[in-house]
Amino acid sequence: MERYQVLIIGAGPGGYVAAIRAAQLGLRTAIVERAELGGVCLNWGCIPTKTLLRSAELLRQAREGADYGLVLDAPPQFDLQAAVKRSRTVAGQLNRGVRGLLKKNQVSVLTGHARLQGQGRVVIEGEQGVQEVSAVHIILATGARPRALPNFEPDGKLIWTAREAMTPPALPNTLTVIGAGAIGVEFASFYATVGSKVTLLEAAERILPVEDAEISAMLAERLRKQGIDVRTQAMVESKQAQDDGLQITFSEGGAKHSLDAERVILAAGIVGNVEGLGLEQTAVRVEKSHIVVDRWSATDEPGVYAIGDVAGPPWLAHKASHEGVACIERIAGLVDAHALDPEAVPSCTYCHPQVASVGLTEARAREHGHAVTVGRFAFVGNGKALALGDSQGFVKTVMDAHSGELLGAHLIGPDVTELIGTYALGRTLETTELEIMRTVFPHPTLSEALHESVLGAFERPMHV
């Protein structure tokens, strides 16, 4: 029986990063994966969707080319299969990169399905048969999968999950997306840009319900202007097969409605992959399909940990990676090991316009008892945004009125998924409003809007 100091089950962004960090610290490490290295994020989530969205962005810019002095001989055409092929190529390249990183760091890669046997023992069933290994520390990083809804179970043909939505055989003329979280909004944005008539159904009162209310409202407005039919407080009830797709019945505001859709994308949340892991052999607790852990990712079973999506929200790849590092450094006994603060995890949605945030929304800050100072700055006052021809959106900052602490930042507009890192760093450094106002931001850049937003909270903006 092979014996390891650390065994990680699942090679997604949480698992493989934890494995690399363990190896860096001199721990004999193995990682188990039953599918592709890099997990759903790299192969079927974060990376390939952003690659498709890049294709949609270029298409949108080409259509607007005349405004920038570009003369096109014919209207731009979109080649769906070429875009999908590029998406799969990028995912494949990164998959190979993860394998190379694990090899470089001398992490043993074991292929198959792992099941805990208790007392540090794990059975792995794969194409090469069954093997048993043991480890002092076992980290569960098995991720999550799309949540199915009653009467709307994915079938891979008419009702898609994100995986089918990334590799469509053809562009549907009509498409309904159920769920307006980040995944649903991104797919709605992509398909609407490339030519589908899209309806977006969200059960909550607003789209992107975890974001600041002002951001959600502006995004809904922008999506509607792009031709997307955005419906909130919309509960899907039933479906009826038709020759060219499905007829969907849903309720909205107490009234029943129906619509026709060639295809449906199900993006109504996720459930943790906890089945078949042998958890019944341990003291590990599961609540609402997610493994219960403490701030250091430890479960109730000594020596067993859980990170990433399977351990609960926020369900983000970068959260999983940082949890993995924190967990390993705690295991290794590093004195400067740091537990992850969920409020410090930035969130990004890559629709058009982009949305990004970190920390508390204005409403949550008030619920937490803070007296707040709020600053806003619209990109229409930013020279770089105007030069780009993309000035829709704004930056909103939320600060504690007494201490000046940066509590949260919420952005919608051009490249805000790149800008949010500045505010994330600011929160880590416990930045105050005064330090941001005294910082020199380069001109002309989009980042000046971050500065102006804080200045605006004190009636000091320069470009309003």
Please answer whether residues 276 and 32 qualify as being in contact, where contact means their C-beta atoms are separated by less than 8 angstroms: no
What CATH number was assigned to the domain covering residues 2-146+271-342?
A: 3.50.50.60
Residue 397: per-residue pLDDT: 97
pLDDT digits (tens, 9 = 90+) for 268-320: 999 999 999 999 989 999 999 999 999 999 999 999 999 999 999 999 999 99
Residue 457: per-residue pLDDT: 87
Question: How sure is the predictor about 65, in pLDDT bands with cuts at 50, 70 and 90?
Answer: very high
Question: How sure is the predictor about 458, in pLDDT bands with cuts at 50, 70 and 90?
Answer: confident
pLDDT at 49 over 90: yes
What CATH number was assigned to the domain covering residues 353-456?
A: 3.30.390.30
Q: How far is CA 363 from CA 210, 258, 369, 428, in A?
A: 11, 34, 10, 21
pLDDT at 464 over 80: no
3-state secondary structure of 6: strand
pLDDT at 384 over 90: yes
Average pLDDT, the chain: 95
Mean pLDDT along residues 29-55: 94
CATH for 159-267 (3.90.1530.30, 3.90.79.10, 1.10.40.50, 3.50.50.60): 3.50.50.60
Q: 208: which DSSP letter?
A: S
Residue 418: per-residue pLDDT: 98
pLDDT at 99 over 80: yes
Residue 15: per-residue pLDDT: 97
Peptide bond into 353 cis (omega under 30): yes
Residue 360: per-residue pLDDT: 97
Q: 228: which DSSP letter?
A: -
Question: How sure is the predictor about 462, in pLDDT bands with cuts at 50, 70 and 90?
Answer: confident
pLDDT digits (tens, 9 = 90+) for 327-383: 999 999 999 999 999 999 999 999 999 999 999 999 999 999 999 999 999 999 999
3-state secondary structure of 401: coil
Report the predicted TM-score, pTM, of the whole model to 2 decimal places. Answer: 0.95
pLDDT digits (tens, 9 = 90+) for 244-260: 899 999 999 889 999 99
Question: How sure is the predictor about 243, in pLDDT bands with cuts at 50, 70 and 90?
Answer: confident
- DSSP-derived secondary structure for 413-424: ETTHHHHHHHHH
pLDDT at 460 over 90: no
How many CB atoms sit inside 10 A of residue 328's CB? Answer: 29
Query: How far apart, in whole angstroms, are the C-alpha atoms of residue 220 and residue 239?
Result: 25
pLDDT at 93 over 80: yes
Question: How sure is the predictor about 128, in pLDDT bands with cuts at 50, 70 and 90?
Answer: confident
How wide is the angle at C-alpha 389 spanned by C-alphas 174 and 413, nearest 5°? 65
Percent of the residues in the chain that have a pLDDT greater than 90, as a whole number = 93
- The DSSP element (H or E) to which 386 belongs, if any, is helix 383-388
What own/partner pairs with CB < 8 Å and gap ≥ 24 does 25-29 have? Answer: 25/328, 25/329, 25/332, 25/334, 27/328, 27/331, 27/332, 28/3, 28/4, 29/4, 29/5, 29/107, 29/108
Mean pLDDT along residues 66-70: 92
Could you give the residue numbers annotated as active site? 443
Question: What is the rounded radius of gyration, in angstroms, for the C-alpha atoms of the chain?
Answer: 23
pLDDT at 72 over 90: no
Per-domain residue ranges of the chain: 2-146+271-342, 159-267, 353-456
Mean pLDDT along residues 179-206: 97
Which of 191, 196, 184, 173 is CA-nearest to residue 231? 184
Question: How sure is the predictor about 179, in pLDDT bands with cuts at 50, 70 and 90?
Answer: very high
Query: Do the two domains 2-146+271-342 and 353-456 of this chain adopt the same fold?
Result: no
Question: How sure is the predictor about 431, in pLDDT bands with cuts at 50, 70 and 90?
Answer: very high
Question: How sure is the predictor about 91, in pLDDT bands with cuts at 50, 70 and 90?
Answer: very high
Residue 459: per-residue pLDDT: 81
Exposed/middle/buried for residue 129 (C-beta within 10 Å: 0-12, 13-18, 19+):
exposed
Residue 461: per-residue pLDDT: 74
- DSSP-derived secondary structure for 123-185: EEEETTEEEEEEEEEEEE---EEEPPBTTB---SSSEE-HHHHHS-SS--SEEEEE--SHHHH
Please answer whether residues 122 and 133 qualify as being in contact, where contact means their C-beta atoms are separated by less than 8 angstroms: yes
Mean pLDDT along residues 410-430: 97
3-state secondary structure of 314: coil
